[in-house]
Structure 1
């Protein structure tokens, strides 16, 4: 399946992204890997739907690839010290969310799936934009006076706040379903 091959390729970009960020900090290659992986996320989904390749395996691989990308970006930026305290705490929330939602999903294995929150896509956009801005090496561009760190950190904190909102909704759905009240 072509879409799964694209997803697996996307997963292969995670380790180089982490190493580049952890060892060298923000850089154009790390940013290109991050943005390229994000673009391939869109491509693999369109391919799966367009070619009729949608499958539980493909959906699982896509989720794992998404989670690994976030983990690699956050861990690399944290190891190199590129996030302030508020953004670092917020970034940890973004990574921890994956485990919590997966746990809710496991608890509901034989029940209806969680209904996605209307805040899910804005959270994804804020997270992706914030982490991407945190990777931009504007210090390497002569004459650049833009200070992106505060903007990146604000976006990451806002993404974490929306993450907490969505987690609350998912927790409520899980408790209702486990109590036999439906979604």
Structure 2
């Protein structure tokens, strides 16, 4: 199962994370453009791996396990690097913290509910949240080389992503708490 194209794309997303982090650690404009391209390619695989798995009949437990982990690792690593570099600063750090906390909360919730054999499918709004996060982070990666207008757009997208993060996080939490109260699936 590890050698299916969808799973290899998911693994490639994980493997790309150290390279993106290293490029963001370098104070060099070309490194930012390379990080942007690599992050964009990794983000694209988030959409492509699932589409291919369904189209080719290669949906697997490994893929269902690895895909959300790869997504969360990629987002978390870039958020941390952007805060560390000062590209996300001031009040925008609050948006970054909201995003990171929700990812941890949902991961823990999914793990708990899996023990009860309760699936936690991704909602359409959560997919929009992911798109807003990836768009915001893509622009923020280029922050130092963007015009002021595009930097403001990146900040607005980050806050949009944080808002959607709160809504989807509350949705998952309330659904999870309902199962916790009953103790069943």
| TM-score, normalised via structure 2 length | 0.86
C-alpha distance in structure 2 between counterparts of 1:131 and 1:145, whole Å: 16
Gap regions ≥5 residues in structure 1: none
Which of 8, 19, 22 is the aligned partner of 2:11?
8
Which of 133, 154, 169 is the aligned partner of 1:127?
133
1:22 aligns with 2:28: no
Q: Please give the residue correspondences for 1:19-98 in structure 2 after superposition, counting only pairs within 5 Å.
A: 19-24=22-27, 27-98=32-103
Instruction: Check whether the contact 2:143–2:151 (CA below 8 A) recurs between aligned residues.
Output: no
Q: Aligned residue pairs: how many?
A: 179
Which protein has the bigger helix share?
2
163-172 or 41-50: which moved more? 41-50
SS in 1 for 2:120: coil
SS in 2 for 1:71: helix
| TM-score, normalised via structure 1 length | 0.87
Post-superposition Cα deviations, 1:99-149, rounded to whole Å, max 9, x if no partner, equal 10111112222142235444212211211111111122573xxxx755322
SS in 2 for 1:85: coil
Could you say what the CA RMSD is over the residues aligned between the two structures, in angstroms? 2.2
Pairwise CA distance, 1:176: 1.0
Instruction: Check whether the contact 2:116–2:184 (CA below 8 A) recurs between aligned residues.
Output: no
Instruction: Check whether the contact 1:126–1:156 (CA below 8 A) recurs between aligned residues.
Output: yes
Instruction: Check whether the contact 2:98–2:162 (CA below 8 A) recurs between aligned residues.
Output: yes
Instruction: Check whether the contact 1:28–1:137 (CA below 8 A) recurs between aligned residues.
Output: no
Instruction: Check whether the contact 2:87–2:143 (CA below 8 A) recurs between aligned residues.
Output: no
Instruction: Check whether the contact 1:11–1:69 (CA below 8 A) recurs between aligned residues.
Output: yes
Gap regions ≥5 residues in structure 2: none
Instruction: Check whether the contact 1:7–1:44 (CA below 8 A) recurs between aligned residues.
Output: yes
C-alpha distance in structure 1 between counterparts of 2:147 and 2:39, whole Å: 24
Runs of 4+ in 1 over 6 A off after TM superposition: none
